[in-house]
Amino acid sequence: MHNFVGKPVYQFRISKYDPAYRDPEGHYLLEEWTSFSDIGKVFQGELLTFDFYEQIEKAYLQTAQEFLRESGVRELLITSPENHHQHSIPGISFDTGVQLSGSKLEHVMRDILRERWWCKLEASACFIHFGWDYYMYIGVPDKCDRAQRMARKLGLYCEVFSSPYQ
């Protein structure tokens, strides 16, 4: 595991949105689903099913885990938790400073994507932040070429981009 000091050197915005469909100001031009709550609605003539949603969600989770693995980061801390719906996960305390790794970290990230709660996941020079409209921001100390290739293979786009949650 790395001994980090300072801010992440590399920061990315990971999303399902093809950058080719952005206007010059960066706004996405296609009407697409942006939330777990959109399951059952139609976008561009296609019904968003739970199965398709879950496929994309898994791509986000696998990509996040690969960035952490490639950077040598084994755990992240919960910071800035917001739990307006009082959701809980057995065995996980949703409080600032709680350390998460492995399946617990994956479970929390899944629940954030499903809008059950929100928090930032951080270490000294690494973070994973989730934003509105199904964006994931990752900051890591390494370029993580393998993780970027994996994201593309899974149908996601990695753009160099600073997290608005820092």
Compute mean pLDDT per 10 residues along the chain, 166 residues long, and list them: 60 97 94 97 97 98 97 94 80 87 94 94 94 96 96 98 93
**CA 108 vs CA 33, 57, 121: distances in Å:** 21, 13, 9
Q: Where are the domains of the chain?
A: 10-160
Q: Please tell me the pTM assigned to this model.
A: 0.92
Look at residues 51, 62, 82 and name the one whose alpha carbon lies nearest to residue 138: 62
Q: What is the model's pLDDT at position 6?
A: 58
Q: What is the model's pLDDT at position 95?
A: 86
Q: What is the model's pLDDT at position 85?
A: 74
H, E, C per residue of the chain: CCCCCCCCCEEEEEECCCHHHECCCCCECCCCCCCHHHCCCEECCEECCHHHHHHHHHHHHHHHHHHHHHHCCCCEEEEEEECCCCCCECCECCCCCCEECHHHHHHHHHHHHCCCCEEEEEECCEEEEEEHHHEEEEEECCCCHHHHHHHHHCCCEEEECCCCCC
